[in-house]
Amino acid sequence: MELASGFWSFKTYAGAIEIGLFDLLADGHELTVEEVSAQLGIAVRPADLLLAGCASLGLLEKTGVRYRNAALAEEFLIKGRPYYFGGFVRYLDRREYPAWRHIVEALRTNRPQTWTPGSQESLFDTEDPETLQLFWDCMFSISVFTARALAGVYDFTPHRRLLDVGGGAGAFPLELCRRFKNLSATVLDLPPVCDLARRKIADAQLEGTVDAVAGDFHRDAVLPGGYDVIVLSMILHDWDEESNRALLRKCREALRPGGVVLICELLLNDERTGPPAAALMGMNMLIETEGGKNYSGAEYRRWLLDAGFSQAETLPLEAAGANGVVVGYVS
């Protein structure tokens, strides 16, 4: 029953964000069903059902007849807050949820359902700038906490220069350079994404420590050199094995002796039977990409050794964007 009705929870969650419920209750506001009804412009019955549904999911709390945001919603579901997660929910609701209706088509054709290869260059080639902005916002939010988890299991103290390949708006460099004062970092991404990263870098007042360089890590013959640590976070699951092996070879060639590459992903176990977060993200790659899938730590370790890394190991971590980091060492 939980498997069959899982969409009820998601659509309740997404509907509350889209209609502005959590923004209405921001900063400790407490409202009755009738007050929510009036202020959202909806009837009392749907207001009552929405509030009960969100409370059941742990997003709201209730005292007497008044509802308020739970601490989780207050931190992550209010527009404009530093770690706003609502953009991710809206992105899923607008782009991926409709595409998942065509899962059988994806299974039968082995083709993505959110974009059209041949007429669009990539899954990021969209005519909807708002949807694209939602994507980058959600990736930044998720990556902030993944970077913090990574910093808890891997010591960056020996390193000096970090390259974040496909680094988006720069969450990893910003978080890691705040924590490890010895680090400077570069985001490598497509030109429009670098503009987003530069804004985030300026907001964080880390110009001079973090910068952004335009490039295409698949099409460019080589990666920028002179770095002793390269991060690949939520990148390799977008691509097939051949493309990933080629990218890892570029990483090996770009790294200094003593350097490392860090692959942060939702890793499948070596038997490829779970965990669900990794396996279902793999299913989402069927919907979103031409060749992407989620891989096991064993697969990444084998590719690293084949690419010329001297040693590879997997370190577990716990974050929304990754459950482990595969480390490849250059001797």
Active site residues: 237
How many helices, marked H, and strands, marked E, lie in the chain?
Answer: 14, 9
Measured distance CA(75)–CA(89) in Å, rounded: 15
Which residues have CB under 8 Å from 136's CB, separation 6+?
168, 169, 193, 196
Count of CA atoms in the C-beta half-sphere (13 A) of 313? 8
Q: Where are the alpha helices (DSSP H) in 213-290?
A: 241-254, 276-288
- For tokens 């782009």, the residue is 95
Task: Choose among 131, 127, 107, 101: nearest CA to 116.
Answer: 127
- For tokens 């088509």, the residue is 105
Query: Which residues, in sequence order, are bridge partners of residue 163?
Result: 186, 230
Start-to-end Cα distance in the chain = 52
Measured distance CA(311)–CA(321) in Å, rounded: 24
Measuring CA to CA, how many Å separate 135 from each of 90, 128, 141, 169, 296? 9, 11, 10, 11, 25
